[in-house]
Amino acid sequence: MKEILLCKCGELVLKGLNRRKFEDRLQKTLHWRLKKVGNFKVHGCQSTFYVEPLDENASMDEAMEVCRRVFGLVGVCRAVVCEKDIKDIKEKAALYLKDLLNGVRTYKVETKRADKRFALTSPQISREVGGYLSDVYAHLQPQMDDPQVTVRVEVREDYAFVHGGPIPGAGGLPTGTSGRGMLLLSGGIDSPVAGWMMAKRGLELGSVHFFSYPYTSEQAKQKVLDLAEVLSKWCGKLTVTIVPFTHIQTEIRDKCKEDYFTLIMRRFMMRLAEQVAIRQDCQCLITGESLAQVASQTIQAINTTNAVCDMPVLRPVIGMDKEEIVTIARRIETMDISILPYEDCCTVFTPKHPQTKPTMEKVLEEERKLDVEALIAEALEGIEKVTLG
């Protein structure tokens, strides 16, 4: 039996004259991502994209895994392809959904008839198929209200499809339709979630990681690359720009007051991230800051760190509790990597009592002790890039 994936578009169908742009981008994304797992044809019509395997080696399981992570889709159905003939539809439905139907007691059939030339109306098709299924599977009870399984029949232009309902898609808007954003990726729980949330809203991501060897380890760097790999399954190809950060940190430690260490360090990160963002055509920065979660994330601290860059800084988890962030981290499968014990640069030289209510004057006074421009230039000089996905 030939199978096909029906990918249902989400929010983009509400777009007006530029809807085509969103659809094109989504189609391209599906095409590129599926290319890695096999030979598939992707074509779309009427808010659904069809993913058709072109040879036997194309694994439908892997294609499902790819499609459920593509932003812009709200659901993915794995369906059997039928001739537009009620007999073929009935028989294939019974055969294809055998395992699913054997595991439940109540069901109903719902039909969508896009091709109005088809001889039977939607309710007639549902009745025909339902009657046949009840004959084949004696244990099944039709139930219109909240059945365990809804068998869906879709009669389209060239073929009819039967499936047992969609699995949820990733939602959001197709990658890249909202521009590009530069994610500050630390290795913790919050930043991958923040990146994922903004990618979901259609941003294409770049990422920047600050690396403090030997204070932080090669494993810590690998951990960030592993996180980027997982993120890339959702948001596509992801480049991690690794910025050497050790000299900046030791300079801050040697010259500035201890309680301002973290703040001044964060200001350097924002400056560097913005520079990297400009070089890589990004229009915004993305951070995993959550208000008041740590000392450098109080509103006063954010004021002082935000002041060094002109680009908008998106902070999608700013109003979320840790538990809410963790729920998403588990869903997108970054959690298990994030909790590996390797230290990141943020925990090198942490002050005993960090400043939670800094003033701008004080921060500037401390920063004047450093040659900021030279340090930034030196760090940008040592950049290393790794592309995942």
Partner 1 sequence: MEHYLDNAATTAVLPCARAAALAAMEEFGNPGSLHAKGTAARKILDDSRKALAAALGCKPACVTFTSGGSESTNTALRGAAQKNRHLGKHIVSTQIEHDATLNTLKALQNQGFEVTLVAPEMDGSVSAEAIRAALRPDTAVVSLMAVCNETGAILPLREAKAAMKQICPKALLHVDAVQAFCKIGLPMDIIDLMSLSAHKLGGLKGSGALYVREGLQLQPLIYGGNQESGLRSGTEAMPQIAAFAAAAGERMANFRENCEKMAALRDQLIVEAQKLGCKINTPADCAPHIVNLSPCVGRSEVYIRVLSDRGIYVSGGSACSRGKKSHVLTAMRVSGKNADAALRVSLCPETSEEDIDAFLSALADAKKMF
Contacting residues toward partner 1, per CB under 8 A:
213-215, 217, 250, 341-343
Q: Is the peptide bond before 174 cis (omega within 30 degrees of 0)?
A: no
User: Please, what is the minimum distance in Å from the beta carbon of residue 249 to partner 1?
Assistant: 11
Q: Which residue number, 19 or 257, has a Cβ lying nearer to partner 1?
A: 257
For the chain, what is the HEC assignment?
A: CCEEEEEEECHHHHCCCCHHHHHHHHHHHHHHHHHCCCCEEEEEECCEEEEEECCCCCCHHHHHHHHCCCCCEEEEEEEEEECCCHHHHHHHHHHHCHHHHHCCCEEEEEEEECCCCCCCCHHHHHHHHHHHHHHHCCCCEECCCCCCEEEEEEECCCCEEEECCCEECCCCECCCCCCEEEEECCCCCHHHHHHHHHHHECCEEEEEEEECCCCCCHHHHHHHHHHHHHHHHHHCCEEEEEEECHHHHHHHHHHCCHHHHHHHHHHHHHHHHHHHHHHCCCCEEECCCCCCCCHHHCHHHHHHHHCCCCCCEECCCCCCCHHHHHHHHHHCCCHHHHCCCCCCHHHCCCCCCCCCCCCHHHHHHHHCCCCHHHHHHHHHHCCEEEEEC
Q: Which residue number, 102 or 350, has a Cβ lying nearer to partner 1?
A: 350
User: Please, what is the minimum distance in Å from the beta carbon of residue 342 to partner 1?
Assistant: 8
Q: Which residue number, 137 or 215, has a Cβ lying nearer to partner 1?
A: 215
Q: Which residue number, 151 or 220, has a Cβ lying nearer to partner 1?
A: 220
- What length is written for the chain? 389
Is 270 in contact with 309 (CB distance < 8 Å)? yes
User: Please, what is the minimum distance in Å from the beta carbon of residue 197 to partner 1?
Assistant: 30
User: Please, what is the minimum distance in Å from the beta carbon of residue 256 to partner 1?
Assistant: 16
Q: Which residue number, 351 or 389, has a Cβ lying nearer to partner 1?
A: 351
Q: Which residue number, 137 or 342, has a Cβ lying nearer to partner 1?
A: 342
User: Please, what is the minimum distance in Å from the beta carbon of residue 246 to partner 1?
Assistant: 9
Q: Which residue number, 32 or 215, has a Cβ lying nearer to partner 1?
A: 215
User: Please, what is the minimum distance in Å from the beta carbon of residue 355 to partner 1?
Assistant: 21
Cα-trace Rg, the chain? 26
**Lookup: tokens for 97:** 């959904």
User: Please, what is the minimum distance in Å from the beta carbon of residue 341 to partner 1?
Assistant: 5
Q: Which residue number, 137 or 213, has a Cβ lying nearer to partner 1?
A: 213
User: Please, what is the minimum distance in Å from the beta carbon of residue 369 to partner 1?
Assistant: 20
User: Please, what is the minimum distance in Å from the beta carbon of residue 211 to partner 1?
Assistant: 13
Q: Which residue number, 229 or 343, has a Cβ lying nearer to partner 1?
A: 343
